[in-house]
């Protein structure tokens, strides 16, 4: 549930939400299944569901992407509802998370797993993996195909003979920055569980992998600037390891592939990239796009920008003369507020009018190309006026995002956006990042380094 908050409750330190909207995404094992099918392979999700509308919502969210074998073993399908104010989670409500209430049919599970080239067990502690019929079916699979087990503190012990188990650092009882200790712990756990190998995921630090024979490797993480949402990174890692093993990779290479895939998953927005306004509607572009997706279209003017967009449209704008970390943070925060981010970019003449004859340093065509290369940007519109008012009239975004401590009521864009039914949101900028200051420092260094002839 998302909304905009401009004030707190008078009787409690809690935000007052306005304009709330419900958004949906598959969670738990369903998110892992979506991660596994991102390269187009066929994926079957076998899971316990309830006899309720949430089970129907899950089926609608997965339709056309993942084959759902929903075992009606629960009264209610587990759901977790996050309440967000201005993009920040302020509360979470869990329902139906008490566990599986009925016994699964081993024949049904075995039938669903038949023909698999690899199996990923994404255990979320609801009890299905504790059932003997399910474990027997999984053991049969482990004899013929790679089995990857992503454990949970409340879940069952991983199956002996699993090719790879993927606990996170907390589950392995190590810190994310303790690489050597994590390597030792991975080897210990492989022996305790009787599995071929264990990879302890270490967040931004990568993963520590060891097998039962003494081989081990510390796989460093790939840096992601200002990640918006790391939720689901473990699912992305385990799913990528399983698909790599299905393709014939050895376990160490599969772990390397998993680390890279998890980093790419976070860079694309994490689990939030799989969010939809309601079950059954088209997914956002970033949800299905691979890491090598082509750059978004660069529009020449506002009139050509409005076509072809879907879902909740967010817009932001500026000169973006020399792109820096503050810009990237703003753009990612803006993209997290909807499904489609349009950047309204000041043209060269517009920048000169605002900043003086020495600007821009980078021309509008190159600035647009750099912005378009960012995964969080769906579209770039170049406008020639000093303010984007005309462009906003044409675009009619659902949300207009402005960086900094501006008063929303004083912004010239506010009445234009509100007349079209949109809302205006400000987000704080990363301190210490100023384009003008950066350019001044660069030019100063250039003068200091002029050679004497």
Segment 143-167, tens digit of pLDDT: 999 999 999 999 999 999 999 999 9
Q: What percent of the chain has pLDDT over 90?
A: 41
Average pLDDT over residues 315-325: 87
CATH 3.40.50.620 segments of the chain: 295-441
Answer yes or no: are the C-beta atoms of 289 and 374 closer than 8 Å. Answer: no
Burial degree of 340 (CB within 10 A; 0-12, 13-18, 19+)? buried
pLDDT at residue 444, rounded to an integer: 53
SS3 track for the chain:
CEEEEEEECCCCCCEEEEEEECCECCCCHHHHHHHHCCCCCCCEEEEEEECCHHHHHHHHHHCCCCEEEEEEEECCCCEEEEEEECCEEEEEEEECCCCCCCCCCHHHHHHHHCCCCCEEEECCCCCHHHCHHHHHHHHHHHCCCCEEEECCCCCCCCCCCCCEECCEHHHHCCCCCCHHHHHHHHHHHHHHHCCCEEEEECHHHCEEEEECCCCEEEECCCCCCCCCCCCCHHHHHHHHHHHHHHCCCCHHHHHHHHHHHHHHHHHCCHHHHHCECCCCCCCCHHHHCCCCCCCCCEECCHHHHCCCCCCCEEEEEECCCCCCHHHHHHHHHHHCCCCEEEEEEECHHHHHHHHCCCCCCCCHHHHHHHHHCCCCCCEEEEECCCCCHHHHHHHCCCEEEEECCCCHHHCCHHHHHHHCCCEEEEECCCCCCCHHHHHHHHHHHHHHCCCCC
The residue written with tokens 């006899």 in the block is 51
Query: Catalytic site residues?
Result: 235
pTM of the model: 0.62
pLDDT at residue 241, rounded to an integer: 96
Segment 86-123, tens digit of pLDDT: 878 889 998 888 888 899 999 999 998 988 999 999 99
Average pLDDT over residues 187-196: 96
**pLDDT at residue 300 above 50?**
no
CATH 3.40.1190.20 segments of the chain: 25-274
**Distance, CA of 320 to CA of 354 (rounded, Å):** 13
The vertex-274 CA angle with 154 and 38, nearest 5°, equals 90
Length of the chain: 453
Segment 124-140, tens digit of pLDDT: 989 999 999 999 999 99
**Distance, CA of 209 to CA of 194 (rounded, Å):** 15
Query: Sign (positive/negative) of CA torsion 35, 41, 47, 50?
Result: positive
**pLDDT at residue 426 above 80?**
yes
Rounded mean pLDDT of the chain? 83
Average pLDDT over residues 271-291: 52
For the domain made up of 25-274, give the CATH fold.
Answer: 3.40.1190
Judge: domain 295-441, CATH 3.40.50.620: yes
pLDDT at residue 280, rounded to an integer: 54
Local confidence band at 278 (pLDDT 50, 70, 90 cut-offs): low
Average pLDDT over residues 325-344: 87
pLDDT at residue 436, rounded to an integer: 52
Average pLDDT over residues 419-441: 66
């Amino acid at each position: 549930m998302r909304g905009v908050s401009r004030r707190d409750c008078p009787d409690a330190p809690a935000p007052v939400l306005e304009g709330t909207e419900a958004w949906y995404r598959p969670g738990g094992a369903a998110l892992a299944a979506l991660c596994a099918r991102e390269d187009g392979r066929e994926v079957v999700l076998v899971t316990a569901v309830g006899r309720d509308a949430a089970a129907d919502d899950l089926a609608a969210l997965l339709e056309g992407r993942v084959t759902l074998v929903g075992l009606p073993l629960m009264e209610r399908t587990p759901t977790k509802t996050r309440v967000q104010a201005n993009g920040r989670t302020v509360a979470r409500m869990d329902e139906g998370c008490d566990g599986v209430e009925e016994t699964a049919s081993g024949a049904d599970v075995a039938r669903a797993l038949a023909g698999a080239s690899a199996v990923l067990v994404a255990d979320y502690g609801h009890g299905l993996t504790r059932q003997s019929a399910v474990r027997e079916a999984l053991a049969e699979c482990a004899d013929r195909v790679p089995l990857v087990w992503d454990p949970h503190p409340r879940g069952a012990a991983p199956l002996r003979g699993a090719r790879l188990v993927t606990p996170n650092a907390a589950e392995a009882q190590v810190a994310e920055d303790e690489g050597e200790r994590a390597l030792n712990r991975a080897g210990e756990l492989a022996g305790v569980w009787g599995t071929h190998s264990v990879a302890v995921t270490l967040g931004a630090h990568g993963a520590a992998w060891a097998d039962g024979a003494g081989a081990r490797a510390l796989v460093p993480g790939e840096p992601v600037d200002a990640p918006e949402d790391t939720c689901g990174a473990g699912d992305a890692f385990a799913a990528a390891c399983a698909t790599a093993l299905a393709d014939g990779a050895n376990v160490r290479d599969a772990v390397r592939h998993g680390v890279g895939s998890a980093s790419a998953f976070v860079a694309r927005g994490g689990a939030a990239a799989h969010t939809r306004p309601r079950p059954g509607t088209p997914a956002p572009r970033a949800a299905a796009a691979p890491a090598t997706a082509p750059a978004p279209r660069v529009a020449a003017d506002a009139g050509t920008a409005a076509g072809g967009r879907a879902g909740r449209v967010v817009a932001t704008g500026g000169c973006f003369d020399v792109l820096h970390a503050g810009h990237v943070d703003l753009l990612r925060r803006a993209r997290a507020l909807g499904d489609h981010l349009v950047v309204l970019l000041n043209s060269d003449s517009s920048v000169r009018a605002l900043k003086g004859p020495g600007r821009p340093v980078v021309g509008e065509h190159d600035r647009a190309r750099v912005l378009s290369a960012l995964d969080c940007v769906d579209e770039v519109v170049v406008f020639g006026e000093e303010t984007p008012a005309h462009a906003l009239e044409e675009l009619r975004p659902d949300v207009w995002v402005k960086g900094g401590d501006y008063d929303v009521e004083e912004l010239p864009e506010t009445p234009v956006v509100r007349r079209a039914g949109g809302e205006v949101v400000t987000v704080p900028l990363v301190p210490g990042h100023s384009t003008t200051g950066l350019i001044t420092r660069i030019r100063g260094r250039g003068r200091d380094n002029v050679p004497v002839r």
